[in-house]
Amino acid sequence: MKYKKTSTYSYNLHVIKTDKFKTITVKINFKRKLQKQEITYRNMIVNMLCESTALYPSKRLMTIATENLYDLYYRGMNYISGKYNVMGFDVTFLNEEYTEEGMLDESIKFLSNLVFKPNIEKKRNGTCFNEDNFKLAYNLLKDNIIAQKENPDAYSRTRMLEHMEPDSYLSYRSSGYLEDLESIDSKKLYKYYESILNSDIIDIFVIGNVNERHVRKVIEDNFLKIKTIKKPTESHFIRPKKTRLVPKTIKEKQNINQSKLVLGYKIDKMTDYELRYVLNIYSYILGGGPDSKLFKTVREKNSLCYYISSVGQPLNSILTINAGINKKDFKNALNLIKREVYNMKKGKFTDEDIIKGKITYINSLKELEDSETSIISLYAGIEYLGSDDIPTRFAKINKVSKNDVIKLANKIHLDTIYLLEGDLDEEK
């Protein structure tokens, strides 16, 4: 695998040459500082651009175009990465070796049309997106926002973060907000789209068995509408506010059978090594699977939960514990969870636990190498987060010691306890 980064005034081009895959994937990312009121706009842009283009003004015509390109696959996404909002579009298509000459150029041109030639209308009061397709994109996003609220697991995790740090990066909902959606019209959305082309930080990733010089030329020819001037970027990493001396407890009720318990822990002044490596091992030992402390104690020995896990979030310097319980078991489950977290501080785990955590981490890295999109994510992590390459990760994860885990454990403090109580009688 050979990697080359080329910088221009407007964007960075990352070419990852490999003959491991029969396909080629091209992805363009637009990144800007996270603003709560812009999340919904960016989700709408993704839906709008994937719904139609000027050349293919309906979903049916988009489908026909992809079939003519040997079933090219395309998608758009918008996600939160610490202090930043990243919006991406990518296409995956067969290498010309398995199709015909010129398909790489045509496939990249399709991506360019998708992003830079939207389906628009010009009216007396200005340019706007096509109204019919705007309504389709609007309803799609509205349904998604409602679905997130109606998913008890997703809703409980979101509500815990909103209570942990209200009106902060941590509390923002990646799906967007209905109140913001209701204020958007097709003209406002198009104006925001233009600001993306003029203001966002842009990175383009290409992976596959490609000629780097040819790819660079095709990108230059098809991405002329990028007008932004490349600018320095801040760190994505968030340092949360000070942990509460007494954890905050919040209870809400919902018409569900299974109550949802979410605990939010803040982590004090992690070193770069701790947030990238030690936190992975700590989280695995505490609640990373059926061999974890939480699973064995809370579920197997005491039967106080349906599921339980811990997840470290290095970008946000927090750790969350999620469990499905009966509401009558809230206090007992909470006490057992606290005890296991305390035991981690006292080093009540074995070297074998650490070895298992390292093996799991290494195997997950190896699996990432089997997917083009995952490899792009790895290089995006290097670009955005200063992450290490895979060989360096292998070396550093193997250096994690029991003392490292204990040291990190003593930096982890419970801040917020959230319980979404089920109104129904679970026992029945």
Q: State the CB neighbour count (10 A cutoff) for residue 252.
A: 13
pLDDT of residue 428: 42
| Per-residue pLDDT, 424 | 60
CA distance 84 to 381: 13
pLDDT, residue 304, reads: 96
For the chain, percent of residues with pLDDT exceeding 90: 90
pLDDT the model gives residue 232:
73
Average pLDDT on 351-358 reads: 96
Give the strand pairing for 248-254 and 412-422: parallel
pLDDT digit string, tens, across residues 221-268: 998 778 777 677 889 999 888 889 999 999 999 999 899 999 999 999
Question: Considering the chain, what percentage of its residues have pLDDT values greater than 70?
Answer: 99
- With beta carbons less than 8 A apart as the criterion, state whether 286 and 310 touch: yes
How far apart are the C-alpha atoms of 428 and 402, rounded to whole Å? 44
Report yes or no: 211 and 97 within 8 Å, Cβ to Cβ: no
Give, as one character, the DSSP assignment of residue 128.
E
Assess whether pLDDT exceeds 90 at residue 281.
Answer: yes
- 171 vs 36: CA distance, rounded Å: 9
The pLDDT of residue 296 is above 60: yes
Integer-rounded Cα Rg, in Å, for the chain is 24
DSSP calls for 196-231: HHHH-EEEEEEEES--HHHHHHHHHHH-TT--PPP-
Could you tell me which of 363, 377, 276, 365 has the C-alpha nearest to residue 16? Answer: 377
For 19, what's the count of Cα atoms within 13 Å in the CB-facing half-sphere?
2
Q: pLDDT for 86-98, tens place per residue?
A: 999 999 999 999 9
**Structural domains of the chain sorted by starting position, each given as residue range(s) with its CATH number in brackets:** 2-222 (3.30.830.10), 248-422 (3.30.830.10)
pLDDT-based confidence at residue 81 (cuts at 50, 70, 90)? very high
Instruction: Answer whether residue 83 shows pLDDT above 70.
Output: yes
Mean pLDDT of the chain: 95
- Phi/psi of residue 143, nearest 5 degrees: -60, -40
Residue 425 has pLDDT above 60, yes or no: no
Residue 37 CB contacts under 8 Å (≥ 6 apart), including other chains: 180
